[in-house]
Structure 1
Amino acid sequence: MTRLAGMMAKSAVAPLDRLKILMQSNCPHYSRFNLWSCYRAVLNKEGFLSFYKGNGAAMIRVFPYAAIQYTAYELFRPLMRALMGPHSHIGNFTAGAAAGTVAVTSTYPLDIVRTRLAFQVKGEHVYYGIMNALQKMFHENGWRAYYKGYAATVAGILPYSGSSFYFFDLSKRIMLKYFPKQTTTVNEEKGGRLELSIWAKLICGCLSGVIAQTAAYPVDVIRRRMQLIGMHPAYDHYNTAMWRVGVIVYHEEGMSAFYRGLSLNYVRAIPMVGISFTAFEFFKQLLRIEEHAPTS
């Protein structure tokens, strides 16, 4: 059910996802537009259904990604607590970062396919569906084609996933300690212990999402550019080390290029992350595996 919820949420924000990819990659056809004018230009040039380019790959990726990420987190967290103590901030951050790395590594080929499909403009299609993209990419450069920009992705997922889980756990502890009357309910079936309400967990998820997205966004821009190497001549000069790509982007477009589409990312990421974490916590409670956050 969490996967179905994730698929529905992904589809709901699919138009924002495509706009974000176009802005992050500085697509030659839409590079001169701001958010609203980019939306109108895409709508006029390609039609409304074009906002769902790459959504099929995103849907397929949702199933394994969420399951792998949260399962890995539940495996890494007790290990980190055993090594660094139950209240270690570094331990929580490391567990989240490790879980994100495992999940993104497992599903990365679908991520790059989704980016390339979403980047395509009407009349200039290189790929015609997920399988066609996978086949053509393999002929380009073998299995390595599926992992272009992987180093930048891992470099981005470490601060993103780490800070996301860390600040989610931290905000839960803060609410339980300082605002128990406003944010908790009593669970009589579990000995009358306090548990955070659904809306409180949603707030925690949204806050963690904002912080995580802001921390990782510049690296996310770099990885988008690298994922398009070989697809369009405008991106061939990004076929170099990750840090060099950052230098190129800075010299060509300035510091603002690293934050193109960030406000749009807030709009799409806040409900996505909030719903994701809330569903995760809800089903942990339902299955009676939730660990009560410390209040002292």
Structure 2
Amino acid sequence: MTKSNEKIDAPKSHVFVSGAVAGLFSRFVISPLDVIKIRLQLQAHGNPSTLPPPPTSGPTYRGILGTARQIVVQEGIRGLWKGNIPAELLYISYGPVQFIALKECTLLMQHGAPWIKEDVRNLIAGSIAGATATMVTYPLDLLRTRFAAQGNERVYPSIMYSLRHIWKHEGVKGFYRGVGAGVVQVTPLTGIFFCTYEFLRTLSISSLNLPEQTSNFLSAGFASTFSKTVVFPFDLVRKRLQVQGPTRQQYVHRNIPLYVGILGTIKDIVKMEGVRGLYKGLTVSLIKAAPLSAVTMWTLEYSLAVCNWIDPPERREVA
């Protein structure tokens, strides 16, 4: 039985636990890079080296190391982990929902449409799984962005306060600002990632004779880098839309423009910041993407192996 089939045949409890462990561990490791990426994405003015921002716009970040240094100096080392609690909750829930949805979609197509080619099946199942997980966990993603965008003057002192404040002043729709961009981003992203990952993993094992764990690590890293580059502008649009609302000018960047809709946001960014404005934070996103996805998939494989060791298939068949 291949590793891919083991994931499909694994009980839901194994998939749920393994997905949660993988998401929790990887989220903590890359949290500083995530905060840096969000700060760069929300920096709405032009090239900071040639176009100085208005005096009330907040800090000007230049590069990954410069941004990290400025955050630590102005906000302390804990500033690099702002938004980590909702982010942990996001990844704990996102991973299990994603992998369970992937399993169910794959099984449904295997039995209901067996004529569909495996690569196409992986693409469809991965896309549906990503869209489902995004919709279910989106409020946590929004909270992660808003907490990471806070400077020393906090908009939300706690998660409970943020929930009450958003509910009172923005309603249910406030928790889903930018969800359309999120779905547009993650649907092809997840599909391309899983399809590329499974293809490269199988190829590297059969043709290059790489050890299985090495193959999983390298395949996940390359697949993530490739897929994230394709859809990155929608990630930036999602971040800009997530901080809209009554608190828009209270974050560390106080000059965030007013945006309406996905296409309107793209149009405004290109007009004010150029096409390059759609790719702010891409470098740190790519640096983050490879270790994040590789660690996630690597941890997932090991967690599933541990679950199967504790509760082997033979015992389940007897039961």
TM-score range, shorter chain: 0.7 to 0.9
The residue aligned with 2:278 is: 258
Q: Are the counterparts in 2 of residues 171 and 204 from structure 1 also a CA contact under 8 Å?
A: yes
Q: Are the counterparts in 2 of residues 117 and 129 from structure 1 also a CA contact under 8 Å?
A: no
| 2:124 maps to which of 83, 94, 108 | 94
The residue aligned with 1:114 is: 144
> Is 1:199 aligned to 2:214, yes or no?
yes
Matches within 5 A, 1:1-296: 2=18, 3-26=20-43, 28-81=57-110, 82-83=112-113, 85=115, 87-122=117-152, 124-179=153-208, 182-184=209-211, 197-230=212-245, 231-233=247-249, 234-235=255-256, 237-238=258-259, 240-285=260-305, 287=308
Shift in Å, 1:172: 1.9
Distance 1:198 1:36, change over 3 A: same
**Structure 2 CA distance for aligned equivalents of residues 73 and 54 of structure 1:** 27
Q: Are the counterparts in 2 of residues 30 and 38 from structure 1 also a CA contact under 8 Å?
A: no
Give the root-mean-square deviation of aligned CA atoms: 1.9
Shift in Å, 1:259: 1.4
Aligned to 1:183, the other structure's residue is in SS state coil
One-letter amino acid of the counterpart of residue 21, structure 1: I
Q: Deviations over 1:126-154 (max 9, x none)?
A: 11111111111111121110000000000
**Structure 1 CA distance for aligned equivalents of residues 281 and 183 of structure 2:** 20
Q: How many residues align?
A: 273
**Structure 2 CA distance for aligned equivalents of residues 32 and 112 of structure 1:** 22
Distance 1:131 1:281, change over 3 A: same
Distance 1:258 1:236, change over 3 A: closer
Shift in Å, 1:26: 1.1
TM-score (normalizing by structure 1): 0.86
**Structure 2 CA distance for aligned equivalents of residues 199 and 226 of structure 1:** 38
**Structure 2 CA distance for aligned equivalents of residues 41 and 282 of structure 1:** 37
One-letter amino acid of the counterpart of residue 234, structure 2: V
One-letter amino acid of the counterpart of residue 200, structure 2: S
Which runs of 5 or more residues in structure 2 are unaligned? Answer: 1-16, 45-56, 250-254, 314-319
**Structure 2 CA distance for aligned equivalents of residues 84 and 134 of structure 1:** 45
One-letter amino acid of the counterpart of residue 218, structure 1: P
Shift in Å, 1:165: 0.7
One-letter amino acid of the counterpart of residue 14, structure 1: S
Distance 1:7 1:134, change over 3 A: same
Identity %: 24
Distance 1:223 1:57, change over 3 A: same
**Structure 1 CA distance for aligned equivalents of residues 271 and 114 of structure 2:** 42
Q: Deviations over 1:188-231 (max 9, x none)?
A: xxxxxxxxx11111111111111121112110000000000012
Q: Deviations over 1:2-29 (max 9, x none)?
A: 3334323211221111110001111642
Which runs of 5 or more residues in structure 1 are unaligned? Answer: 185-196, 290-296
Q: Are the counterparts in 2 of residues 226 and 235 from structure 1 also a CA contact under 8 Å?
A: no
Aligned to 1:33, the other structure's residue is in SS state coil
Shift in Å, 1:91: 2.3
Q: Are the counterparts in 1 of residues 86 and 141 from structure 2 also a CA contact under 8 Å?
A: yes
The residue aligned with 2:316 is: none
Q: Are the counterparts in 1 of residues 22 and 300 from structure 2 also a CA contact under 8 Å?
A: no
TM-score (normalizing by structure 2): 0.80
